[in-house]
Amino acid sequence: MAATISPVVGSLVWVEDSEEAWLDGEIVEVKGEEIKVLCTSGKTVVVKTSNAYPKDPEAPPCGVDDMTKLAYLHEPGVLDNLRSRYDINEIYTYTGNILIAVNPFMRLPHLYDSHMMQQYKGAAFGELSPHPFAVADAAYRLMINDGVSQAILVSGESGAGKTESTKLLMCYLAYMGGRAVAEGRTVEQQVLESNPVLEAFGNAKTVRNNNSSRFGKFVEIQFDQSGRISGAAIRTYLLERSRVCQVSNPERNYHCFYMLCAAPPEDVQKYKLGHPRTFHYLNQSDCYELDGVDDSSEYKATRKAMDIVGISTDEQDAIFRVVAAVLHLGNIEFSKGKETDSSTPKDEKSWFHLKTVAELLMCDVKALEDSLCKRVIVTRDETITKWLDPEAAAVSRDALAKVVYSRLFDWLVDKINNTIGQDPNSKVLIGVLDIYGFESFKTNSFEQFCINLTNEKLQQHFNQHVFKMEQEEYTKEEIDWSYIDFVDNQDILDLIEKKPGGIIALLDEACMFPRSTHETFAQKLYQTFKNHQRFSKPKLSRTDFTIGHYAGDVTYQTELFLDKNKDYVVAEHQALLCASTCSFVSGLFSSLVEDSAKSSKFSSIGSRFKLQLQQLLETLSHTEPHYIRCVKPNNVLKPAIFENKNVLQQLRCGGVMEAIRISCAGYPTRKPFAEFVDRFGLLAPEVLDGSTDEVNACKRLLEKVALEGYQIGKTKVFLRAGQMAELDTRRIEVLGRSASIIQRKVRSYLARRSYAKLRLSAIRIQSALRGQLARHVYEGLRREASCLMIQRHLRMYLARKAYQDLYFSAVSIQTGIRGLTARNELRFRRQTKAAIIIQSHSRKLLARLHYTRTKKAAVTTQCAWRGRVARLELRKLKMAARETGALQAAKNKLEKQVEELTWRLQLEKRMRADLEEAKTQENEKLKSALQEMQVQFKETKVMFEKERETARRAEEKVPIIQEVPVVDHVMMEKLTNENEKLKALVNSLEKKIDETEKKYEEASKISEERLKQALDAESKIVQLKTTMQRIQEKFSDIESENEALRLQSLQSTPVKRASEHPRIPPIPSTPDTQRFENGHHTDEEDGANELQSATPVKKFGTEADSKFRRSVVERQHESVDALINCVVKNIGFSQGKPVAAFTIYKCLLQWKSFEAERTSVFDRLIQMIGSEIENQDNNDHMAYWLSNTSALLFLLQRSLKAAGTISQRKPPTSLFGRMTMGFRSSPSSANLPAPALDVVRQVEAKYPALLFKQQLTAYVEKIYGILRDNLKKELSSLLSLCIQAPRTAKGVLRSGKSFGKDSPASHWQSIIDSLSTFLSTLKENFVPPILVKEIYTQTFSYINVQLFNSLLLRRECCTFSNGEYVKSGLAELELWCCQAKEEYAGSSWDELKHIRQAVGFLVIHQKYRISYDEITNDLCPILSVQQLYRICTLYFDDNYNTRSVSPDVISSMRVLMTEDSNNAVSNSFLLDDNSSIPFSVEDLSTSLQEKDFTDVKPADELLENPAFEFLHE
């Protein structure tokens, strides 16, 4: 691993130090093999050249995220890189595909939220910053893609954060493969929630960690074919059973004992517990409580966790009964009994605890005493009972406690596995191994021996994996690696586990002999392995032995090896517990028969553990391994403290240094061609002349410097150990010579500049003197020239004046002659025009006389025909009037019925009051209706008389055509009399109703049985109301008839307009004549919108017959089908507005669909829109429908009002009323001009219309979201390329060319093209500008989020050159926003504020001079402290090697972050993308105008359909 260096004064090196492990410094003196180094700490040391390691002067100050990128891969380089990253809270670092995690001892919630999981989902390994999520994602992707099971091995010493790392891995795997279930909890939730239970019973406080796992755990997470978690299992290894009985100070026993002692009072009383200091198993240490941990709360949390994992309440009580029994068992003390070598409980206290144990375990007290104090020896002939002395009884007691607790822990693991369940059909799994790291204490017993054996096994597996990765790297780069040796630790494994002859085999052999002791065992080891290079005997001990592990030498004490290795259950103990009346306790132990069958074969902890370890390695051998090495930076468990020696020891124990040693055996330095040329191109600049091939340049450069042993791969240069230092030494020499040349050139430049200044001063003085002389000569020449100029101008003035006088005279004469000629010509033209006018008026008069005669004849014919039609209608009205007699008879009959029913009416007081109020309101309505009818009738009569008088006068003035009398005055008088009779009838009915109401008040106590008859009477009254309504309709028909008669009388006077304007002759070609049609003027003030010419009766009759022949429903369905078939086509736009939306709105308005209670039109339209937008990838199609749906929604928003908000005239229901409406809306009425109708008309909307509006709003939002997401999807692939500048070689190229071939602006130009193309699509489909603006605003916000998050997650992006690259791209976006204009771009540019400020900060020079206030107030006010801190720590200048911000600014940011560390929101430095809908219907409505639709032309296809003639209006 050492890199031999060629010492040069000024070189930077690392030297070893007893306190700080390694110090960096500069060589100040070289004396043969010794060098003098001035350290950065101020210390000066003299070391040998072989003990110094080179330091990379170009290493980033904040370290690198992958240590394989280090120029020098050695111990001090690795340690310095980890410390540099730890100082900026970058706790994760890669070494190839190995993740090193340094425990920060503080909460960093922003690193582990769901947003961070989303960032690492699917990202390539190494693309983002190092993280456990990246390791978990890589394992998950390999499992899914290759179908191979994966394993993630998490290791480290106690307190390094293994358990927390395992939880993070589990959370991420649950995030990727989690599945929602209908009932209960998912598999991954149960696995995560089983941690508190296992930690309570398997974790304890040690010297190095407050929550140390005292067992190994391998979690198998099973997946189905779709990558979803389908099952799981938890395997545990080597629970530290001896801790139950023996605890060293200041450690603690397992957490569950202290939790139970801090349980609620009722539980403490039930289990007869007290303070932990009262129990022997707990008071061996002075530590009873942990800082920041409440055992009472932890007890409740454990109980809750047990509920979650499926442990019932009875089972929980039994579990804690067993735990309490173990505590009481430890308080039983023994003294000598009456018999020889016998024992008995010492005192009353011991007897109390003995009885309590029997009570808790539900066994016999005497049997428990005998099992502790006696042993039964079974021989062939007899059974012998042997007493145990007090010491042996205490050992028996501890053995019972240990076996009960270990069986309880095994039961918990089995219960959790059974609750979670395993998937037998699963083919692949991901295993997460959380296991103890290498341990070396002052006192190392059997547990440390087994732990270190595990780490030796895993280290061998790790070495094989690292060597395999090295082989794969070399094979991928196609270089020769056959001569590289593999570093193995098989000799240590053979020393420990070889059978026979290994340490474990000798230990098992010693345990089988009753008289063996730890001394005899130690002597056996000394004799067997005295010549083994990995085994040694300490000088000052007779029973200890030392093993040279891969991480260092460890000395083990053998005193307790034999006791801790024995793995047997005393027959008396098993018989006692199997006979327990508690099913839980008896279930912890197998039957005596099963145990006796196995008693012939010896079993030990070491052998069983070796078997488990073998099974674990077999499982790992079938998986693809991934490694996470956890490191504890200090022993005080506090943040911001990095102890070099402690970390270095852990790196050695974790195998990181071993992996580096394996790497150094091959090619530790690997540089990409571009970086190699960039760094060492100055050693041979001539090889770069005109060269564009990086590979050839590297080969020629290495040949030039005469380096041997290197290899050229496909993408990298591979250097042996020490070659990088040699090249750097030569580079320093070249740079030193270059510095001398630069100094010489600078001095030359300064001397030349001084000489140039003196010479320039002399020249300026000479210039001033020569200038003075020249000015005197120039003054004389200037005066002479002035005289000549004055003379020339004077002569010119005189000549010009003479010429102008002559010119003006000639012009005046020409003007007079031309005027005379023009006046003669004008006179001739006037005479000619007058003659033409006289001729035209003469011809016009003759044509008009002919037209007038023809028109009078036509009007006469029309009047005759209309008179006939009116007489027929009058005859029908007379027949209808005869029906009045029938109404009178019905009225008399109804009066009799009311009189018969009055005495039978009875209602409750409340019903009577309600009915009374209803009748009063109805009477008032009827009265008001009659009064209104009378007033309308009088007004109609007066109006009719006025019209007749006007028509008569007009006829007298211009007696052209004799009026045909069509009004029957006798009939009119008869109808008037009938109306009076009806009025009297209504009055009489009102009197009857009043009498009935009085009788209601009198009849108050009639039985409830006649209530139904009263309701029948009420229905009769409703019929009266119906009768009155019919009378009202008949009156309305009479009014319509009068109106039609008045219309005919007006049409019989065609020259009314002429009589009003007799002086102006009617000229056909003028616009005035267009206002006359059939003798009717359209500008009448009264009823201008209602008076239309009538349709011939024949045509009306034809339409009426057709209406009866065809079903209205069928016609409506045909019309809807025609409409849908038309609008599903792209029928384009008119006046910039969608034709389809306008056509749909006009049809719905005409069909009165908005006012319908039930209709299927809206459902069909919604289905049509839904089917049309299924193809979400066609932006042009989606934009077309967004334009149509938004326009239709705007029209509905302006048109629809809730029911009851608009008063609307009720359409006539009688035959004559409908006929009159038909006359007004018939096609012939098109001959009469009508005033322009409003495009949007407010209607009273019913529920279907309001529901349609809501559904249409949802579709507008859906189409908007689809278009926005399509644009984001198109840009996402380009944004990943735009965040990092294309790589270019920066070597000294005299030809002026660069190795980089990518165009820096190509990716940004692609984004600009995408934005422009999308905008053109939206413009072509006339999408409302407000929607376009919101789409681009959210898209730019997405660009800001993606670029900014990538900047924070990828260190290679936080560089000066990359900032310039991104800044140039942002300038292109700003230019695009300006070209797109405010109407479409809106505030899009403001959405890029985060990336703009971040990039602006990256390209600032001299950042170390900027204060924190200047950064937060002026440069980056929008960025949070966490974001600024990450940018400042990740920044490095790859162009000019400028420094980042000062350490004081970094410290200020770190203090602020520490203060807010408890706030998860403030710690999140990543941005979230907003995918909400940023506009409302009101916003869309206010952005459009009704007048925009006035000139929109409906669909041409429907205009040709007779059923859509209303679209012509």
Q: What is the tens place of the pLDDT at every residue in 503-512?
A: 998 998 888 8
Other Cβ atoms within 10 Å of 441 Cβ, number: 13
pLDDT of residue 664: 65
**Dihedral over Cα of 492, 496, 499, 500: its sign:** positive
Above 80 in pLDDT, residue 1324?
Answer: yes
Q: Mark residue 1327 as left, alpha or beta (left: phi above 0; alpha: psi -120 to 50; beta: remaining).
A: beta
Torsions phi, psi for 567 (to 5 deg): -125, 75
| Per-residue model confidence as pLDDT tens digits over 535-568 | 999 988 889 999 998 888 899 999 888 888 876 6
Report the candidate in 497, 438, 435 with the shortest Cα–Cα distance to residue 235: 435
- Please determine, for residue 1342, whether its predicted confidence score (pLDDT) is greater than 80: yes
Q: Is 1078 exposed, middle or buried (0-12, 13-18, 19+ CB in 10 A)?
A: middle
The token duo for 73 is 């891969």
pLDDT on residue 955: 63
Q: What is the mean pLDDT of residues 178-193?
A: 63
State the Cα–Cα distance between residues 529 and 501, nearest whole angstrom: 9
Give mean pLDDT, residues 835-845. Answer: 92
The answer to whether the beta carbons of residues 717 and 663 sit under 8 Å apart is no
User: Which range among 176-190, 226-240, 304-318, 1418-1432 shows the weakest confidence by mean pLDDT?
Assistant: 176-190
Task: Tell me how far apart the alpha carbons of residues 504 and 511 are, in angstroms, rounded to a whole number.
Answer: 10
* Catalytic-role residue among 220, 240, 439, 473: 439
pLDDT of residue 906: 58
Beta-carbon contacts of 725 under 8 Å, excluding residues fewer than 6 positions away, are 3, 4, 5, 6, 54, 72
Three-state SS string over 1078-1130 comes to CCEECCCCCCCCCCCCCCCHHHHHHHHHHHHHCCHHHHHHHHHHHHHHHHCCC
Residue listed under structure tokens 């010794």: 34
Closest CA to 1272 of 1361, 1360, 1346: 1346
Which of these ranges, 195-199, 460-464, 724-728, 1190-1194, has the smallest mean pLDDT? 724-728
Supply the pLDDT for residue 133: 94
pLDDT of residue 118: 87
Query: pLDDT tens for residues 1138-1161?
Result: 888 888 888 888 888 888 888 888
Q: Which of 93, 163, 489, 1388 is catalytic?
A: 163
158 has catalytic annotation: yes
* DSSP secondary structure letter of residue 66: B
The token duo for 1387 is: 């505030």
With b for 16 or more beta-carbon neighbours within 10 A and e for fewer, the 337-362 pattern comes to beeeebbbbeeeebeebbbbbbebbb
- Count CB neighbours of 519 within 10 A: 12
Given a contact cutoff of 8 angstroms between Cβ atoms, the answer to whether 169 and 450 are in contact is no
Q: Of the ranges 104-118, 283-297, 456-470, 798-812, which one carries the lowest mean pLDDT score?
A: 456-470
Catalytic residue among 194, 195, 203, 212: 212
Question: In whole angstroms, what is the distance from residue 1318 CA to residue 1272 CA?
Answer: 11
CA distances from 521 to 507, 526, 1471 (A): 7, 9, 64
Give mean pLDDT, residues 1031-1059. 53
> Tell me, what amino acid is at 196?
P
Most confident of 17-21, 803-807, 1089-1093, 1437-1441: 803-807
Looking at per-residue pLDDT, the higher value among 644 and 1005 belongs to 644
1077 three-class SS: strand
Burial class of 656 by CB neighbour count within 10 A (0 to 12, 13 to 18, 19+): buried
**Cα(241)–Cα(564) distance, rounded to whole angstroms?**
8
673-680 vs 694-704: helix crossing angle, rounded to 10: 40
What is the number of helices (H) and of strands (E) in the chain?
49, 30
Alpha helix stretches (DSSP H) within 147-239: 162-177, 187-193, 195-202
Q: Clarify whether 1226 is annotated catalytic.
A: no
Catalytic residue among 213, 242, 1257, 1468: 213
Asked whether the beta carbons of 710 and 479 are under 8 A apart, the reply is no
> What local confidence, expressed as pLDDT, does residue 485 receive?
60
C-alpha 1351, offset from chain centre: 18
pLDDT at 1062: 35
Whether residue 4 has pLDDT greater than 80: no
More confident residue, 1289 or 508: 508
* β-bridge pairing 150-155 and 428-434: parallel
> For residue 1449, what are its two tokens?
């600014």
pTM for the model: 0.61
Cβ neighbours for 72, distance < 8 A, ≥ 6 positions apart: 3, 53, 54, 55, 56, 669, 724, 725
Distance, in Å, from the CA atom of 677 to the CA atom of 964, rounded to the nearest integer, reads 114
CA dihedral 284, 289, 294, 300 (to 10 degrees): 0
pLDDT at residue 1093 is higher than 70: no
Q: Say how many residues make up the chain.
A: 1513
Q: Is the dihedral of CA 1441, 1446, 1449, 1453 positive or negative?
A: positive
- Does the annotation count 156 as an active-site position? no
Amino acid at 1116: Q
Residue in the block written with tokens 């007048």: 1491
Query: Is 821 among the catalytic positions?
Result: no
pLDDT confidence of residue 1215: 35
pLDDT confidence of residue 593: 40
- Calpha distance 317→327 (Å, rounded): 15
**pLDDT: which is higher, 1235 or 1447:** 1447
DSSP string, 470-515: HHHHHHHHT---TTPPPP--HHHHHHHH-TTTSHHHHHHHHHHSTT
Catalytic, 655? Answer no
| Residues contacting residue 626 through CB under 8 Å, at least 6 positions apart | 97, 135, 138, 139, 150, 151, 152, 153
Q: Does the pLDDT value for residue 152 go beyond 90?
A: yes
Q: Which of 594, 605, 599, 514 is nearest to 567 (CA)?
A: 605
Q: Point out the catalytic residue in the list 77, 216, 437, 1386.
A: 437
DSSP state of 1419: I
In 1039-1065, which positions are buried (b, 16+ CB within 10 angstroms) versus exposed (e)?
bbbbbbbbbbbbbbbbbbbeeeeeeee
pLDDT in tens, 643-659: 988 888 888 777 777 66
> Residue 192: is its pLDDT beyond 80?
no
Q: How confident is the model at residue 1015 (pLDDT cuts 50, 70, 90)?
A: low
1244 as an active site residue: the answer is no
Q: How far is CA 353 from CA 241, 273, 345, 367, in A?
A: 22, 10, 10, 15
Q: Which residue has the higher pLDDT, 173 or 913?
A: 173
Query: How far apart (Å, rounded) are the C-alpha atoms in residues 172 and 115?
Result: 11
pLDDT digits (tens, 9 = 90+) for 511-520: 888 778 889 9
Q: What pLDDT does residue 411 have?
A: 92
Q: Tokens 């985060």, residue?
A: 1394
Does residue 437 have an active-site annotation?
A: yes
Output the pLDDT for position 1276.
Answer: 85
- CB atoms near residue 1147 (< 10 Å): 25
Q: Is 525 helix (H, G, I), strand (E, B) or coil?
A: helix
**Whole-angstrom Cα distance, residue 1513 to residue 873?**
30
**What is the model's pLDDT at position 269?**
92
Q: Has residue 1263 got a pLDDT over 80? A: yes
Report whether the peptide linkage leading into residue 500 is cis, meaning its omega lies within 30 degrees of zero.
Answer: yes
Under a CB-based contact definition with an 8 Å cutoff, are residues 1020 and 894 in contact? yes
Weakest-pLDDT range from 870-879, 898-907, 1372-1381, 1477-1486? 898-907
Nearest alpha carbon to residue 443 among 572, 564, 305, 556 = 556
CB 1289 within 8 A of CB 694: yes
Provide the 3-class DSSP secondary structure of residue 287. Answer: coil
Residue with tokens 């056509």: 1143
Task: Examine the pLDDT at 1168 and tell me if it is beyond 80.
Answer: yes
pLDDT in tens, 753-798: 999 999 999 999 999 999 999 999 999 999 999 999 999 999 999 9
pLDDT one-digit tens code per residue, 658-715: 667 666 666 777 778 877 887 788 777 777 776 667 888 888 888 877 777 778 888 8
* CA–CA distance, 127 with 1353 (Å, rounded to integer): 9
1468 assigned to active site: no
Query: Would you state the structure tokens that stand for residue 675, as one six-digit string?
Result: 């970086």
- The residue annotated as part of the active site, out of 129, 206, 209, 979, is 209
Q: How far apart are the first and last CA of the chain?
A: 94
Average pLDDT, the chain: 79
pLDDT value of residue 1007: 52
Token code pair at residue 242? 């001896």
Does residue 1094 or residue 749 have the better pLDDT?
A: 749
